[in-house]
Every structure is written in structure tokens, then in C-alpha cells.
């Protein structure tokens, strides 16, 4: 029962997000609807967290969580009802080729297997894992158990290990869910993680199906399914999938914007970048790298006038983050414990660069904890080749540069870390890879030739309308 | 590149993904332990600290924490770290600060180590003893 309640408590936010994104950005092609549902799920959860946090800040209560969700859902339903004829929600008819059906069957079977493994693992991990108790659910307990004094969770007396300066997207929603359910139901944080994983699949597959082909989208989904790390991370209630979600969303939106030049896509991308920053400190870095990718695209397309829309989307989360960081949060351990002399020494110590580079390479080649590795995907890409015709004019360099800059930022953080470098790498690097991997997979599958090209079949033979 | 090689690469990727998922499911089934559904380590630690939580006055906002890492030169770091983190998680919204300088201190030590540590503390401190080497110390 708790399992079910944990999932149901976030459902209004997810449905609201999906409906509102659909109202802002029309189109009822199946692939686009899938993308919008995934995007809406994360944005619904993110917006709920932001508004609930503002209410917590002003009223010192967490009881606003569920009414905020219902309010968002009410808006979504009202707009959907009002615009039912101009912006229909039901997907247009589509059909698959024989080869696409085979791929869909393979995807379905692998999904079934991974879902079974996820459920078993999640059942055995009712309280999540280390980071959940240390950071996110701990912070949620401070809020839920003593709302009038919730600011204690940001006390400078809190040992640095607890990362009291981390932004609060996840803890606010978890505390709100517990408040709604009337108890510390540990399945709620697990459900929130699972929704972000679901969102990653929907965005990855919906975007690739829209931008490339159904077969390529199914293949990308299969590749992601083959990586157990995403499934056990979801069960462990860590925030890394949430960062991965917002990174992927902001970069996928870049491709849609490139094709459609619709201002609302820039608004949604700004919101995604901001919510990445409201999730974790690493997301703050994406605020810079993701914005860089968007600025590069605005510059290349001479569309600087749309920058205001991106900034509009960014405004609310950025304002909340700035207030949180400037007036509430204690200093970050990485910078508080570093002296300028120590920093200089670390930056000029080549041995540190060697150790970090070695760990990065090992992690990149072993990432996923399954049989399909990044190296294997790279070999696959080399064999099937790039789809040069379709890649022309796509913002692939902008998206790739955001990912590379993000990785470079992570690399430099390890260079200057005041903690033991081996301990720091061993305990965090695989999680940082989770942040960038879905985006890497997206750029990879958007760039290379799809199954339809390989098998020399028509990509969308009987979809009623091409998009 | 030869079309046949591309087709084989595609087939290989799909089959390997399927194999990867099945091996993960098999490994998860192998580790299956129904006790963990309700009683994982976190639950056990919450139970272990339940009496301590009740004895701690409601107005206490911060307590100290002393573990092996404060009294021994050789200790198991991951164990110490995990037990400290779990203690903070259990006692929230009370802040569990490192060290023994606070009025109220949670001490997580074996009996011998506790005696050694206690000798360095005020003689009039009050000690509450719980199961499995957990103490709550009040220093007036």
C-alpha cells in the first residue's frame, strides 16, 4: 500500500506538468506527446518544489505541497478543456514497419526484465542508500518533523559531510509528500526518483523519434535500458537522475528550438537549467554550461532576441537559488576548506591531474555496470557512421560543448577538492557520469545513422502526418 | 562500411542489451532478501536509537557525537562514517555535531573505549546507557 501511495502522491504534479507543457507547445504527434509528457513530469515536480519552498519560506509550513499540485493540475485541466479543439491531446494515428515492430518487441522485453529487476531492488532498498540518508531524506526530515524550525537543516553546525548547502528540490517534495501522506513513507522519495527516470526515457525516446526516427528512438531506449546504474540509482533515492533529467531536457529542447524557432521552447529550457541548479550544486554548473549551449545557438542563428525568453524561464528558479545561496545556505565545503595557497598548489600538481584523468577514463569505459559500455557504443557509432544529411544545421556542437564543459568543470572540482582525492573520486565520480550520460546518449543517437538507414527502409512509412 | 557489418552491429547491440538486462535481473534475484523489505540497516539503526530519542529533552537542538574516530588512531572509516550519518538521520531535526564539547553527547563506543573517553570528561556527567554500545551523556 505504501508503495502505491508513494507513487500517487506526486501524480497531480506530473499530470499538471504534462498538460501545461502540451498547452504551451502544441502538436499531438505520438513522439512529441511522449517527449512532452516526460518533460512535463519533471517540470511539474520541479515547479511544485519551487512554489512549496516559497510557501515554506514565508509561512514555515510544508502543507502547501499538495494544494500547489492540485492548483497546477487545475490550471492544466482547465486549459486542456478550453483548448481541446485547437490543441488535442489524443495522438494522431501512426503505424510501424516490420523492423520497427521487431525493435519495439525487443524494447518491450528488455523493459519488462529491467522493470522486474528494479522492483526487486527497490523493495530491498526501502530507505534508499547512503546519499539519501545523508543529504536528501535527512533534509526532508528536518522540514517534515519541525517545520517552524526548518532552517536548522542549514545550520553551520551541521558537519560538512551532510552538504547542508545543497539546494532543496528533492527534500522539499519529499517532506511535502510525507506531510500529505501523514507519515514518513519511504516509498515516496523512491517514487520521485522513479518518475525522473521515467521522464529521462520519455524525453530521450520522444526527442529522438521526433528528430530522427522511431527505430533510432527504440535503439536509444534499449541502450539506456541496458545500463543497470540508472535503475539502482532510482531505487537509491539519490538526486543524480534529477540533474540528468534537467540537463537532457534543456539540451533536447535546443534541437527542437533549432528546428521550430518557437520562443516557448527557450522558456522551457531556461526553466530546466534553473531547476537543475535547484537540485544539486552540480546543477549550478549546468546553469552555466547549458546556458552557454543556448547562447551559442542564439548567436549562430542570429536569434539573440529570443535570449529574453530563455532568461524568463530561468528567472524564478534562479531567484530562489540566489536567495537560498546568499541568505540561507552555509558555505560549500569545497570552497570553505580551501585556502588560496592550497588552491595554487593543487592547480600546479600534475600528479592530481594524472590521478583524476585515470579515474575519468576508467569510469567512462566501465560506466553503466552492464554489458553495454560507452566504448562499445563508440565502436557501434564508428561502424554505422554519422547521418551527415540529417546532421546538417543541427546544434550538435553546441550540445556536445555543454557536455564537455560540464565534464571539464567536474574535472577541475576534483583538482581543487580539499578532501582526499581518491576518496572523493571513489565516492562521487560514477554519480557525476550519471548526470551527463543521458545527454551524451541523446547527442550520440541523434548524430549517427538509425536502424531505418542501416536496414534501408522508410523511417515513418505510414505516420499520418510527418513532423 | 559494408551494409552487412552495420546490420550485424545493430543486431549485436540489441542482443547484448538484452543479455545485459537478463544478467542484472539474475544478479538481483541472487541477492534477494525479503527481510530487507521492511528491516534494512536504516530501520535497524532507527530502532537502536529509539530509546535515546525519547530520553533526549525536546528543547535540545544540537548534540555532540563521539565515535571510534575520535578516540582511536586506527578505526574503520566507512563504518564510523555510516554510523555517524545514520545517527544524524535518526535524530533529525536535532543537529548531531562532531565531537564531545556539547552539553548533550551521543557516544558510540565499546565499553572499554567509553571508559577511556569518560575519564577525560567532567566527573559529574550523567550517562544513559543503551544497547550495543550507545550512550547519551549529559554534561551539566
Q: How far apart are CA A12 and CA A72, in angstroms?
A: 8
pLDDT of residue A466: 38
Q: How far apart are CA A120 and CA A123, in angstroms?
A: 5
SS3 content of chain B, % helix, strand, coil (to 5): 55, 15, 30
Mean pLDDT value across residues A216-220: 97
Q: Which residues pair with B137 in a beta bridge?
A: B105, B127
Question: Do A58 and A140 meet the contact criterion of CB atoms below 8 Å apart?
Answer: no
Mean pLDDT value across residues A22-42: 96
Q: How far A368 CA lies from chain B's nearest CA (Å)? A: 10
Q: How far A83 CA lies from chain B's nearest CA (Å)? A: 41
Q: How far apart are CA B135 and CA A51, in angstroms?
A: 42
Mean pLDDT value across residues A121-126: 94
Does A449 touch chain B if contact means CB atoms closer than 8 Å? yes
- How many angstroms separate the Cα of A295 from the Cα of each of A244, A302, A402, A403, A439? 20, 10, 11, 15, 18
Helix (H, G, I), strand (E, B) or coil at B129: strand
Q: Exposed, middle or buried by CB within 10 Å (0-12, 13-18, 19+), for A389?
A: exposed
Q: Which residues contact A14 (CB under 8 A, 6 or more apart)?
A: A40, A41, A44, A45, A195
Which of B2, B11, B15, B21 would you mutate first to test chain A, the one with the most A CBs within 10 A? B21
Per-residue pLDDT for A303 more than 80? yes
* Tens digit of each residue's pLDDT, chain B (140 residues): 688 999 999 999 999 999 999 999 999 999 999 999 988 889 999 999 999 999 999 999 999 999 999 988 888 988 999 999 999 999 999 999 999 899 999 999 999 999 999 999 888 899 999 988 899 999 98
- CB nearest A133 (choices: B36, B89, B97): B89
Confidence grade of residue A269 (pLDDT, cut at 50, 70, 90): very high
Question: Do A100 and A205 meet the contact criterion of CB atoms below 8 Å apart?
Answer: no
Per-residue pLDDT for A457 more than 80? no
Question: Do B140 and B126 meet the contact criterion of CB atoms below 8 Å apart?
Answer: yes
Q: Which residues contact A385 (CB under 8 A, 6 or more apart)?
A: A448, A449, B1, B6
| A-chain residues near B13 (CB < 8 A) | 219, 222-223, 372, 376-377, 380
Of A225 and A331, the one with more pLDDT = A225
| Residue numbers of A between 149 and 178 with CB closer than 8 Å to B | 149-150, 152-153, 155, 157-159, 161-162
Helix (H, G, I), strand (E, B) or coil at B86: helix
List strands edge to edge, sheet with B104-108.
B95-98, B62-66, B104-108, B134-138, B126-129
Q: How far apart are CA A177 and CA A237, in angstroms?
A: 14
- Contact between chains at A380 and B9 (C-beta distance less than 8 A): yes
- Contact between chains at B24 and A117 (C-beta distance less than 8 A): yes
Mean pLDDT value across residues A248-264: 96
pLDDT of residue A85: 85
Q: What is the rounded average pLDDT for all residues in chain A?
A: 93
ipTM above 0.90 for this complex: yes
Does A216 touch chain B if contact means CB atoms closer than 8 Å? no
What is the pTM (predicted TM-score) of this model?
0.94
Question: Do A454 and A445 meet the contact criterion of CB atoms below 8 Å apart?
Answer: no
- CB nearest B40 (choices: A127, A142, A228): A127
- Contact between chains at A123 and B43 (C-beta distance less than 8 A): no
Confidence grade of residue A465 (pLDDT, cut at 50, 70, 90): very low
pLDDT digits 0-9 by tens, A365-389: 888 788 888 889 999 999 999 888 8
Question: Do A61 and A147 meet the contact criterion of CB atoms below 8 Å apart?
Answer: yes
Q: How far apart are CA A264 and CA A283, in angstroms?
A: 22
Q: For chain A, how far is it from start to end, CA to CA, in angstroms? A: 42
Does A296 touch chain B if contact means CB atoms closer than 8 Å? no
pLDDT of residue B2: 80
- Contact between chains at B13 and A161 (C-beta distance less than 8 A): no
Per-residue pLDDT for A176 more than 90? yes
CB atoms within 10 A of CB A290: 34
Per-residue pLDDT for A254 more than 80? yes
Question: Do A280 and A243 meet the contact criterion of CB atoms below 8 Å apart?
Answer: yes
Q: How far apart are CA A276 and CA A280, in angstroms?
A: 7
CB atoms within 10 A of CB A409: 16
pLDDT digits 0-9 by tens, B36-70: 998 888 999 999 999 999 999 999 999 999 999 99
DSSP category for residue A136:
I
| B-chain residues near A370 (CB < 8 A) | 20-21, 23-24
Residue by residue, what is the 3-state secondary structure of A26-70? Answer: CCCCHHHHHHHHHHHHHHHHHHHHHHHHHHHHHHCCCCCHHHHHH
Which region among A215-219, A287-291, A306-310, A362-366 has the lowest average model confidence (pLDDT)?
A362-366
Helix (H, G, I), strand (E, B) or coil at B7: helix
Helix (H, G, I), strand (E, B) or coil at B138: strand
Per-residue pLDDT for A20 more than 70? yes
φ/ψ of residue B99, rounded to 5: 100, 170
φ/ψ of residue A450, rounded to 5: -90, 170
Closest CA to A155 of A142, A168, A136: A142
How many CB contacts within 8 angstroms connect chain A with chain B? 151
Burial A448-466 (b: 16+ CB within 10 A, else e): bbbbbbbbeeebbeebeee
Residue by residue, what is the 3-state secondary structure of A104-117? Answer: HHHHHHHHHHHHHH
Per-residue pLDDT for A464 more than 50? no
pLDDT digits 0-9 by tens, A88-109: 888 888 889 999 999 999 999 9
pLDDT of residue A463: 44
Mean pLDDT value across residues A433-453: 95
Q: How far apart are CA B139 and CA A134, in angstroms?
A: 28
In percent, how much of chain A has pLDDT > 70? 97
Angle at B76 between CA B74 and CA B80, to 5 degrees: 115
Q: Exposed, middle or buried by CB within 10 Å (0-12, 13-18, 19+), for A92?
A: middle
Is the peptide bond prior to A113 cis by the omega test (within 30 degrees of 0)? Answer: no
Q: How far apart are CA A13 and CA A44, in angstroms?
A: 5
Q: Which residues pair with B108 in a beta bridge?
A: B134
Per-residue pLDDT for A118 more than 80? yes
Per-residue pLDDT for A467 more than 60? no
Q: Where are the domains of chain B?
A: 3-32, 38-138
DSSP category for residue A326:
I
Amino acid at each position: 500500500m505504501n508503495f502505491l501511495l508513494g507513487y500517487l502522491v506526486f501524480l497531480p504534479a506530473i499530470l499538471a506538468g504534462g498538460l501545461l507543457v502540451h498547452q504551451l507547445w502544441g502538436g499531438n504527434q505520438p513522439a512529441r506527446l511522449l517527449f512532452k509528457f516526460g518533460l512535463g513530469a519533471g517540470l511539474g515536480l520541479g515547479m511544485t518544489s519551487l512554489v512549496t519552498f516559497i510557501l515554506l519560506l514565508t509561512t514555515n509550513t510544508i502543507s502547501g505541497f499538495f494544494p500547489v499540485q492540485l492548483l497546477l493540475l487545475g490550471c492544466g485541466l482547465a486549459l486542456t478543456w478550453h483548448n481541446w479543439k485547437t490543441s488535442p491531446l489524443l495522438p494522431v494515428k501512426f503505424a510501424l514497419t516490420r523492423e520497427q515492430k521487431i525493435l519495439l518487441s525487443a524494447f518491450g522485453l528488455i523493459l519488462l526484465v529491467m522493470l522486474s529487476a528494479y522492483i526487486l531492488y527497490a523493495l530491498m532498498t526501502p530507505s534508499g542508500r547512503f546519499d539519501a540518508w545523508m543529504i536528501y531524506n535527512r533534509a526532508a526530515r528536518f522540514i517534515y518533523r519541525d517545520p517552524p524550525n526548518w532552517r536548522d537543516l542549514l545550520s553551520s553546525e551541521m558537519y560538512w559531510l551532510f552538504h547542508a548547502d545543497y539546494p532543496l528540490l528533492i527534500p522539499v517534495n519529499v517532506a511535502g509528500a510525507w506531510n500529505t501522506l501523514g507519515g514518513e513513507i519511504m516509498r515516496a522519495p523512491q517514487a520521485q526518483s522513479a518518475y525522473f527516470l521515467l521522464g529521462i526515457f520519455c524525453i530521450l525516446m520522444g526527442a529522438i523519434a521526433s528528430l530522427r526516427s522511431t527505430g533510432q528512438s527504440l535503439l536509444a531506449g534499449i541502450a539506456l535500458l541496458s545500463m543497470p546504474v540508472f535503475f539502482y540509482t532510482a531505487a537509491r533515492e539519490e538526486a543524480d537522475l534529477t540533474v540528468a533529467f534537467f540537463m537532457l531536457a534543456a539540451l533536447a529542447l535546443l534541437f527542437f528550438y533549432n528546428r521550430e524557432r518557437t520562443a516557448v521552447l527557450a522558456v522551457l529550457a531556461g526553466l530546466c537549467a534553473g531547476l537543475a541548479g535547484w537540485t544539486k550544486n552540480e546543477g549550478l554548473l549546468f546553469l552555466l554550461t547549458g546556458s552557454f549551449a543556448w547562447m551559442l545557438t542564439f548567436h549562430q542563428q542570429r536569434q539573440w532576441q529570443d535570449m529574453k525568453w530563455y532568461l524568463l524561464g530561468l528567472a524564478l528558479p534562479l531567484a530562489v537559488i540566489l536567495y537560498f545561496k546568499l541568505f540561507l545556505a552555509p558555505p560549500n565545503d569545497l570552497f570553505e576548506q580551501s585556502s588560496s595557497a592550497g588552491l595554487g598548489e593543487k592547480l600546479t600538481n600534475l600528479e592530481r591531474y594524472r590521478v583524476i584523468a585515470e579515474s575519468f577514463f576508467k569510469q567512462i569505459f566501465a560506466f553503466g555496470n552492464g554489458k553495454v559500455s560507452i566504448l562499445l557504443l563508440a565502436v557501434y557509432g564508428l561502424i554505422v557512421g554519422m547521418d551527415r544529411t540529417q546532421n546538417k544545421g543541427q546544434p550538435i556542437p553546441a550540445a556536445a560543448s555543454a557536455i564537455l564543459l560540464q565534464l571539464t568543470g567536474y574535472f577541475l572540482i576534483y583538482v581543487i577538492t580539499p578532501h582526499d582525492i581518491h576518496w572523493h573520486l571513489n565516492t562521487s565520480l560514477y554519480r557525476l557520469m550519471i548526470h551527463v550520460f543521458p545527454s551524451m546518449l541523446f547527442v550520440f543517437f541523434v548524430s549517427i545513422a538509425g536502424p531505418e538507414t542501416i536496414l534501408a527502409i522508410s523511417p515513418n512509412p505510414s505516420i499520418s502526418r510527418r513532423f | 562500411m559494408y551494409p552487412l557489418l552495420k546490420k550485424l552491429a545493430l543486431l549485436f547491440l540489441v542482443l547484448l542489451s538484452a543479455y545485459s538486462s537478463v544478467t542484472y535481473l539474475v544478479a538481483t534475484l541472487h541477492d534477494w532478501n525479503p527481510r530487507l523489505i521492511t528491516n534494512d540497516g536504516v530501520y535497524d539503526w532507527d530502532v537502536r536509537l529509539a530509546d535515546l530519542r525519547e530520553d533526549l529533552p525536546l528543547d535540545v537542538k544540537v548534540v555532540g557525537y563521539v565515535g571510534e574516530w575520535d578516540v582511536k588512531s586506527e578505526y574503520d572509516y566507512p563504518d564510523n562514517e555510516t554510523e555517524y550519518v545514520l545517527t544524524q538521520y535518526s535524530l533529525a531535526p536535532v543537529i548531531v555535531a562532531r565531537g564531545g564539547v556539547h552539553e548533550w553527547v551521543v557516544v558510540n563506543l565499546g565499553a572499554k573505549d567509553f571508559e577511556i573517553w569518560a575519564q577525560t570528561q567532567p566527573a559529574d556527567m550523567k550517562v544513559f546507557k543503551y544497547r550495543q554500545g550507545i550512550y547519551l551523556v549529559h554534561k551539566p
